[in-house]
Amino acid sequence: MQSKAAETAQPLIPTPSASGQKRRFGDFPTFSAALDYAAQGAAGFNIYNGRGQLLEALPYSYLRTQALETARRLLGTGLEPGDRVAIVAESDGDFARIFFGCQYAGLVPAPLPLPIAFGGRESYIGTLRGMIAAAGARAVIVPDLIGSWTDEIVAGLDLTFGGAPSALMAMAVPDLKLPTTATEDLSYLQFSSGSTRFPMGVAVTQQAGMANARAIARNGLQVRETGDRCVSWLPLYHDMGLVGFFLTPLTCQLTVDLLPTREFARRPHVWLDLISRNRGTIAYSPSFGYELCARRPVSNDLDLSCWRIAGIGGDMIRHHILENFSERFASVGFSANAFVASYGMAEATLAISFAPLDQGIKTDTIDLRRLESEGMAHPSNDPSHALRTFVLCGEALPEHRIEIRDPEGNILSDRHIGMVYVRGPSLMCGYFGREQETNDVLDAKGWLNTGDLGYMLDSQVVITGRAKDLIIINGRNIWPQDLEWSAEKEIGSLRSRDVAVFSVDAETGESVVALVQCRATNEAERERLREETASLFRRQHGVEVNVILVPPHTLPQTSSGKLTRARAKAMLLAGQFEPIASNAA
């Protein structure tokens, strides 16, 4: 596929922020119809490398032409409307061409992760093949980045096509009539970022996807008639990247500058540089992305005054990280009021709630002991008490509802901790091919059990953690992130995502384990870290914890960069960690 520069014989320049057309906010029946309209303007995707160099400028007009050709190529391989196409999702123009080719062809793309957060080649390929099987994919697209693994990925699968994007694009374009897509048809499958042994694809219809994109653009982000531009490093195989910074911008004709996810951790400053250089106004990240940026020196060449929505999502929000970021970058124009907390999940397409714009992060500090023992979020600022600060994540989007329920299904009032349930037009139709798992979380009235715990406060939702991660010791409900964050904040040698806390069954009952990544090479320093961490948990949280030191970079993460405690626990029980010895070992 030629670049825009080769096709137009003009210098390669990014597509402009102004589309030159009347803004529409996701009021389309399908994503292909949204591209048909966006193609009438000048906006588009710009593909950058990890150093911030423009590799491809892809106006939506070019994308539409190329996607229509790709649709016919895909159908020419023998695929039929409704078939699934697995795409290992690199953040590039080929992904855009193939994804929207599927939309025009009536096929169902299933974006799959790159091998960023997996424990080696064998583990990654096993996970990928599980996702491909769960989707029942008839075609698998593998980017050149891992092209040498293609044979292992597709071995034994009944496919009409399995190979690189370039091989697909080299095929002749057959003269085939494209099908008509209905609003109730599936648009894509979104696999959970933590999918391992039993991967489940969230099935999103055209109308559900469009309902979420419309609510995000019109109500959550309040996209402006002119001037807005998106900049993203988020993975396109994760809902926040795919829906938030690939599909939604196109449905409201916004230009998007895309950076490769796999290089963000090494050069997080490039994200900020691109926002500054291209006058980006909307950019999102989990908390750890802001933390990585704040570790780097602040360049006086930056001008972040254009950044009006600095969104946070994808994981539990760590307010102290955001405070540090805003303090460090205030000198180059960043405003703390730009922070926008949000809550969402793939089962709801993406977004469920947004905090109000232009107000920054709003928090609620509560008595941690009463939270653990009573299930109530009592406000407190008493420094003699153990305190916990949560972030308010806003009200439900229009046409959506949030309820907090107790185990019997009763709706709870403000500050009572319970399970978070949501309902609305953007919910999934189910987990693809898994009726029982779907029925376990979606009831007959359309309410989704999110699996999250939280409480309501003045109509805003506050998320306290995942129900499956909750540790129950002597009648106390202990949130593992409380222990993790305490250690990472109080112990200077520890960084974000260095600690994984969970419970294990022991002969004397449930016990708490903390896996701690240790960079120290001196045996005395290792023992000091182990003792300091155990003492901190005992002193601040009143709980005995078995602290196990493990080497750096060994704690597992999901493909979106979140710590996965379940996998860490499974690895520990399977003997996959090599504990670092200390005097106490």
Whether the CB-CB separation of 274 and 304 falls below 8 Å is answered with no
Together in a domain, 66 and 178: yes
pLDDT digits 0-9 by tens, 548-574: 999 998 898 776 667 788 888 888 888
Whether the CB-CB separation of 392 and 420 falls below 8 Å is answered with no
Q: Classify residue 63: in a domain, yes or no.
A: yes
Together in a domain, 426 and 476: no
pLDDT digits 0-9 by tens, 188-198: 999 975 544 57
Together in a domain, 45 and 123: yes
Together in a domain, 487 and 380: no
Together in a domain, 108 and 62: yes
Together in a domain, 491 and 451: no
Please give the pLDDT value at position 199.
Answer: 81
Query: Where is pLDDT greater, at 579 or 99?
Result: 99
Together in a domain, 371 and 235: no
Q: Classify residue 551: in a domain, yes or no.
A: yes
The two tokens of residue 292 are 């990585």
Sequence-distant (6+) residues with CB within 8 A of 496 are 287, 288, 291, 318, 321, 488
Please give the pLDDT value at position 507.
Answer: 60
The range of the structural domain enclosing residue 526 comes to 471-573
pLDDT at 118 over 70: no
Q: What is the mean pLDDT of residues 435-459?
A: 96
Question: Which residue, 267, 302, 326, sits at the end of a domain?
Answer: 267
Q: What is the mean pLDDT of residues 104-119?
A: 87
Q: Classify residue 45: in a domain, yes or no.
A: yes
> At 530, which CATH number?
3.30.300.30
Residue 538 zone, left/alpha/beta (φ > 0; ψ -120 to 50; rest)? alpha
Q: What is the mean pLDDT of residues 80-97?
A: 97
Q: Classify residue 400: in a domain, yes or no.
A: yes
In whole angstroms, what is the distance from residue 422 CA to residue 400 CA?
Answer: 7
Whether the CB-CB separation of 205 and 186 falls below 8 Å is answered with yes
pLDDT digits 0-9 by tens, 406-434: 999 999 999 999 999 999 999 999 999 99
Q: Classify residue 355: in a domain, yes or no.
A: no
Question: Which residue, 428, 450, 468, sits at the end of a domain?
Answer: 468
Question: Which residue, 220, 247, 267, sits at the end of a domain?
Answer: 267
Together in a domain, 438 and 485: no
pLDDT at 474 over 80: no
Together in a domain, 476 and 463: no
> At 139, which CATH number?
3.40.50.12780
Whether the CB-CB separation of 71 and 105 falls below 8 Å is answered with yes
Q: Classify residue 345: in a domain, yes or no.
A: no
Together in a domain, 150 and 250: yes
Q: What is the mean pLDDT of residues 578-585?
A: 55
In whole angstroms, what is the distance from residue 232 CA to residue 242 CA?
Answer: 10
Q: What is the mean pLDDT of residues 24-53?
A: 98
pLDDT digits 0-9 by tens, 160-183: 999 999 999 999 999 999 999 999
pLDDT at 4 over 70: no
Q: Classify residue 494: in a domain, yes or no.
A: yes
- How many Cα atoms are found within 13 Å in the side-chain-facing hemisphere of 493? 15
Specify the number of domains making up the chain. Answer: 3
Sequence-distant (6+) residues with CB within 8 A of 75 are 105, 107, 174, 176, 178
Q: What is the mean pLDDT of residues 51-67?
A: 98
> At 413, which CATH number?
2.30.38.10
